[in-house]
A and B are shown apart, each in its own frame.
Chain A
Amino acid sequence: MTALPPPSAKKLGLVIDLDTCVGCQACATSCKEWNTGGYSAPLSDFDPYGADPHGTWLNRVHSYETGDGDTSRTVHFPRSCLQCETPACVTVCPTGASYKRAEDGIVLVNPDTCIGCKLCSWACAYGAREYDYADGIMKKCTLCVDRIYNEHIPEEDRIPACVRACPTGARHFGDLGDIDSDVSRLVAARGGYDLLPEMGFKPVNKYLPPRPKRDASTSPLARSEMNASEPAHVTGSALEKLFAFADKLLTR
């Protein structure tokens, strides 16, 4: 059914920290590796070693530059399905293949009933759905639904593959419907925000903004550079004089 279920208490999603993301693509490759063998299998690739390599990926990491001069910064920006609370991709689906799970809010595509009409990808503002040219159906982030409840894998692996792979801890997984969960606290503490909130799809996934830049006067790096011309820790003690003497002696 493409009619949306009543809002679920549990809202599983990701919190992505743009302050610590280094744009290493580990989440994207880990996602591809897991999902090409999991629920979304296969995630087809075309012309991988040729002139026009392209394929189906559920997670894409962009890099942007913002600001100018001293205030400019590079921000790496992973983009995947935001598991919206009111996802238009689900309601436009003519077959009922797209659905939002009532129990945890995950948005999924049933690979057995999708007709590949691509309308859901038109309805999504975030480019989260990709058509698989070989499989003829739409693919999207499943929040690793085949990992997070999977009792056949060790408990520490029961998180999305992207979160498991992130070397800087920039990706967090949890219940954003629970205001006391770690992810909800993180969002509250860091001012987590929605992408394109004015579109009204109410994304569950949140992004944490890069922290303010340290200005030159408070940066430890900048301070040490400023003082680099002066010798450090000159106190004129007897021990220091001894070391200086030894230094002179040994330098000859």
Chain B
Amino acid sequence: MHPAYSVIVFTTLSGAGYGLLMTMAALALTRSIAPDTRLGVVGLGAAFVMIATGLLSSTAHLGRPLRAWRALSQWRTSWLSREGLASLVTFVPAGVFALGWIYFGTTSGIFGLTALLSIALALATVYCTAMIYQSLPTIRAWHQPIVTPIYCVLSLATGSLLAITVLRLFALERPVLVGISVALLVLAAVLKRIYWSTIDSAQRTYTVGAATGLGRFGDVRPLDPPHTQANYVMREMGYAIGRKHADKLRRITVWVGLLLPALLLAATLVMPPLPATTATLLAVVLCGFGVVTERWLFFAEAQHVVTLYYGAKSA
């Protein structure tokens, strides 16, 4: 599958933004931090900017971006529609929650309820994003039950890492959160390893013989293509460059993008404040790089069934 940059930016950036929102709301709910105005502006502000930038970036992928509002209508059947709706609805409790934190200086009572709703809706949005991919039986690498947990865990891992960074910029230390974030990063690495071994060993049950119905006559080979140059179907669904470097990129994702940030983060627990903050920032950069690589691979490695008509033997 063609890795559209707008979709990679959207899923990683807004994923991290929702993760940051969820972490901030969880910190407020558990009364782990006081609703400081400046902390609220920076932490929740960053979350909103990331979510909004991601959502706007996703419309760059559309042929007719000005019609994007129409995508909110088909939530009964379409995961894309559900995602759009969930992403917008999330702004309501999240906005009220931010108002309570920043303006009224409280996160309890009704604002506590909005914190809870923000977590639920943010998680639902990330889940819907992942379901857009997981629900497609035409792409084996996406049609795996592990896809939604990976999206959710990566969102929480990147978001909690950002939350720790924001707290440290305000000289706040929350070791429990650091522990949770390290665990989420390691969990993400483990889930990705499971994902790759699953898609590598998955039976490729769809064949060119079944796609054309000509398998009954023996081996089916393309003789003449219908067009001399690549068409939309080949450009969008026939992308194959990623598979060439897949092994190296997988190792980079797991070791440089997830486990090294986890190690750095764990090490900050025993560091003085300045090195700890520096190490956290480095972890953010590495993890950001890792998640973008992971998302790029998620698209580039995925083979679509339609490639059977264009020379693939099985899918």
Q: Complex formed: what's the CA distance from A118 to B71 in Å?
A: 12
- Residues of chain B lying within 8 A (CB to CB) of residue A49: none
B295 CB–A CB distance under 8 Å = no
Q: Among A75, A125, A210, which residue has the most Cβ atoms of chain B within 10 A? A: A125
Q: Complex formed: what's the CA distance from A196 to B216 in Å?
A: 13
Q: Is the CB of A198 within 8 A of B233?
A: no
- Residues of chain A lying within 8 A (CB to CB) of residue B63: 114-118, 131-132, 135-137
B278 CB–A CB distance under 8 Å = no
B67 CB–A CB distance under 8 Å = yes
- Residues of chain A at interface, number, CB under 8 A: 68
B205 nearest in chain A by CB position: A198
Q: Complex formed: what's the CA distance from A94 to B236 in Å?
A: 19
Q: Complex formed: what's the CA distance from A199 to B207 in Å?
A: 12
- Residues of chain B lying within 8 A (CB to CB) of residue A95: 67, 70-71, 73-74, 81
Q: Complex formed: what's the CA distance from A53 to B81 in Å?
A: 34
- Residues of chain A lying within 8 A (CB to CB) of residue B269: none
Task: For B74, give its contact among A56, A61, A94, A209 (CB under 8 Å).
Answer: A94
Q: Is the CB of B237 within 8 A of A1?
A: no
Q: Is the CB of B237 within 8 A of A123?
A: no
Q: Complex formed: what's the CA distance from A96 to B74 in Å?
A: 6
Q: Is the CB of A66 within 8 A of B1?
A: no
Interface members, chain B 1-60 (any A CB < 8 Å):
1
Interface members, chain B 63-91 (any A CB < 8 Å):
63-65, 67-68, 70-74, 76-81, 84
Contact string against B for A residues 165-208, beta-carbon threshold 8 Å, 1 for contact and 0 otherwise: 00000000000000000000000000001111111100000010
Q: Is the CB of A3 within 8 A of B76?
A: yes
Partner-contacting stretch, out of A85-93, A150-158, A233-241: A85-93
- Residues of chain B at interface, number, CB under 8 A: 57
Q: Is the CB of B77 within 8 A of A64?
A: no
The answer to whether residues A122 and B136 also contact, given A79-B309, A94-B78 and a CB cut-off of 8 A, is yes
Q: Complex formed: what's the CA distance from A173 to B221 in Å?
A: 28
Q: Complex formed: what's the CA distance from A52 to B221 in Å?
A: 25
Task: For B309, give its contact among A62, A68, A74, A123 (CB under 8 Å).
Answer: A62
Task: For B206, give its contact among A57, A137, A196 (CB under 8 Å).
Answer: A196
Q: Is the CB of B216 within 8 A of A209?
A: yes
Partner-contacting stretch, out of B166-174, B186-194, B224-232: B224-232
Q: Is the CB of B78 within 8 A of A88?
A: no
- Residues of chain B lying within 8 A (CB to CB) of residue A57: 227, 231
A130 CB–B CB distance under 8 Å = yes
Binding site for B on A (CB under 8 A): 1-3, 18, 23, 28, 52-57, 60-68, 71-75, 77, 79, 88, 91-97, 113-119, 121-127, 130-133, 135-137, 193-200, 207, 209-210
Binding site for A on B (CB under 8 A): 1, 61-65, 67-68, 70-74, 76-81, 84, 132, 135-139, 205-206, 210-214, 216-233, 236-237, 304-306, 309
16 residue pairs A–B, Cβ–Cβ below 8 Å: A2-B77, A53-B228, A60-B227, A64-B221, A66-B217, A66-B218, A79-B226, A92-B132, A93-B77, A94-B72, A95-B81, A114-B63, A115-B68, A115-B71, A130-B232, A195-B210
6 more contacts with CB within 8 A, not counting A2-B74, A125-B211, are A114-B64, A122-B236, A122-B237, A131-B232, A195-B212, A197-B210
